[in-house]
Chain A
């Protein structure tokens, strides 16, 4: 600590510092004067955009499916695709991503198939999570994407720990953790940033400042100028970026990764965006925000901006856009039909993975449960099916449920 004495009291608020917002593309997809295009290949830029587009379409279709009653719950990434996919595209594919819950775009970018998304959403026998978590709690070991956990901000100090392990392993990898501006109010956020800075950990803290934590606007979440100034308190590198500008997010994250991996220093990124959709399928924003506000952000749609930039470079065309949209919609519908028909995970999955090995006490509980289900198969159609029991009623009770 550097102590410099003065002899008159002087208070500060932080207003002495102005944190600017890094942006490269205007809403028409044109480079701002003074901005430099990141060195993205055609292939890389297309992969980035296609993941954004696929995320948008998956979200639209699955929200519709939820409204039709085919799915219990859903959450959209809509409006934040540039922030999420732009960040993922700047990482090495073997870097760990520890997300909050609204970052399916990053998983899409990494190559999670529509089938894999669907299996999780429907919690069927092929779901990696064995039907244990609500829809959108994806995870993939092979794609280095940590399984989502509902409690907010718990993943942030975990990312610090994970990245500390990566540093010790010395393989040049880092961890990026996503969270919202609301989750940044949790104690875990402070713990994570402080520990990362003290222990010089290669972790990128990526805040999606989308304006709302369910219904609570960011103005009621914090009094300061967003999340970014908090980095000063931890002596951490920080950048604020236009979260609807995929190129700016990509470039900011690419440079953040360099700092993280080459200097073993954490970086905080605050991406300014807007949650165009509701918080979740259980939420209705009309009760807490104006349509006009949403419209103002709709014209800043991150997909349009990226698409226009690609088109100007002749890397994407209207025809490709139309064809891609159509084939994605078809794929989503077909895979959805497959996924919802698949059987649920077997009854045994109730007790597996609590521990590495099933304990005798748990086996005893499952045996008791099986005896009970055999007595009342109609009351437990999924369990009965798993035990190959015949239901007395002709109705498909599972569909009824």
Chain B
């Protein structure tokens, strides 16, 4: 066991994957000798050479187009998009190509080796274009898997699973936690399952669901509620596509109440999908309406970021309202 922050855990996962399989290739803007603007790919070029870890020109659609071709050829590309806010030039390559490659060819060809890593989310005062959470655009795309880790241990295990998964994975990294989240991470190789949620705290009164950086916020709200005698069950979804309906439904059968929280705007956000599915599955068990605590339906702000974000107090209030409904 070592103590690592999330970047070190990600770097460690990439290192293990590259050492194990020479087909693993990491690239993106500034990922070469510089190791990426956040240093997630530090020292990989030194260790594995320029052919396997390199800078690309500044062209996201090219990075993912290139990655699709490379994966179709049988390599295992790990492409970095510097910020999730800049993934949109590659939207066509991801939605029309990556996601449909296997289906449209009847499984003659696939890009299952592909992993797209990209930092997402707010909370570090960088405004509209370095803070977005674009997960819902991609969860609407059959053929992709969407995975979000909440801490260094999860990041390493889920990233190794994503790289080895037979399907293309969009791996969203909560950049606010890159250095802020520190924890024990095994030195050895391990994988965590894609498609399985994790109950990180058991409770009987209400179910709180989230993913990524929002888990820290949700846990803090749960602690406040706990002081008021409300026992919260906290679930980290970990995979948004496919997502683990059974684990969430089991919890709601028990608690009868649910709150889903994400940083992305309310309308069309992934919380809506979870709420709709759970009310179908658990309708007769619900004691109060399923509530969403999310960002506002605005572009991501800068100076008023604190006001915009679904923080622990907003979640705590929603818990109280749900319990007192």
Contact = CB atoms under 8 A, between A and B. Distances in A.
A132 interface: yes
A199 interface: yes
Contact of A132 (B70, B72, B104, B112): B104
B92 A159 contact: no
Nearest to B68: A158
A105 B281 CA distance: 53
B97 A149 contact: yes
Nearest to A164: B70
Interface in A159-207: 159-166, 168-169, 175, 187-188, 190-192, 194-195, 198-199
Contacts of B62: 157, 160, 188, 190-192, 194-195
Given A160-B69, A165-B70, A354-B142, A141 B109 contact: yes
Given A195-B66, A361-B245, A356 B112 contact: yes
A353 B106 contact: yes
Contacts of A168: 25, 51-52, 75
A194 B74 contact: no
A132 B70 CA distance: 24
Interface stretch (A27-35, A53-61, A122-130): A122-130
A191 B109 contact: no
Nearest to B95: A151
Contacts of B167: 355-356
Given A194-B57, A354-B142, A139 B68 contact: no
Interface in B44-98: 51-52, 54, 56-57, 59, 61-62, 64-75, 77, 89, 92-93, 96-97
A308 to B, nearest CB: 38
A191 B61 CA distance: 7
A263 B51 CA distance: 16
Interface in A106-131: 127-130
B108 A161 contact: no
A187 B89 contact: yes
Given A139-B108, A151-B97, A356-B167, A165 B245 contact: no
Nearest to B67: A161
A93 to B, nearest CB: 17
A147 B108 CA distance: 8
B106 A165 contact: no
B65 A192 contact: yes
B272 interface: no
A133 to B, nearest CB: 6
B69 A161 contact: yes
A354 to B, nearest CB: 5
Contacts of A137: 104
B285 interface: no
Contacts of A352: 107
B175 to A, nearest CB: 25
A399 to B, nearest CB: 25
Contacts of B145: 355
A359 interface: yes
Interface in A346-378: 352-357, 359-361
B219 interface: no
Interface string B192-233: 000100000000000000000000000000000000000000
A129 B102 CA distance: 9
B319 to A, nearest CB: 29
Given A353-B107, A356-B110, A188 B61 contact: yes
Interface residues of A, number: 49
B70 A188 contact: no
A190 to B, nearest CB: 8
Contacts of B69: 98, 157-165, 175
Given A187-B89, A191-B65, A162 B72 contact: yes
B143 A156 contact: no
B190 interface: no
Interface string B248-290: 0000000000000000000000000000000000000000000
A277 interface: no
Contacts of B137: none
A218 interface: no
A161 B103 contact: no
A160 B108 contact: no
A140 B109 CA distance: 9
Contact of A151 (B96, B143, B242): B96
Contacts of B299: none
B43 interface: no
Contact of A154 (B65, B67, B105): B65
B100 interface: yes
B170 to A, nearest CB: 14
Contact of B61 (A128, A157, A359): A157
A154 B143 contact: no
A146 interface: yes
Given A158-B72, A353-B103, A164 B66 contact: yes
Contacts of B186: none
Contact of A161 (B68, B89, B195): B68
Contact of B93 (A98, A133, A154, A163): A154
A353 B96 CA distance: 15
Contacts of B51: 168
A264 to B, nearest CB: 11
A130 B106 contact: yes
B66 A161 contact: yes
A161 B65 contact: yes
B54 A165 contact: no
A169 B107 CA distance: 22
Interface of A: 96, 98, 127-130, 132-133, 137, 139-141, 146-147, 149, 151, 154, 156-166, 168-169, 175, 187-188, 190-192, 194-195, 198-199, 352-357, 359-361
Interface of B: 25, 51-52, 54, 56-57, 59, 61-62, 64-75, 77, 89, 92-93, 96-97, 100, 102-110, 112, 142-143, 145, 166-167, 195, 242, 245
7 tightest A-B CB contacts, nearest first: A157-B65, A191-B62, A161-B69, A158-B69, A165-B73, A147-B105, A356-B166
5 contacts: A128-B105, A149-B104, A154-B93, A161-B69, A194-B59
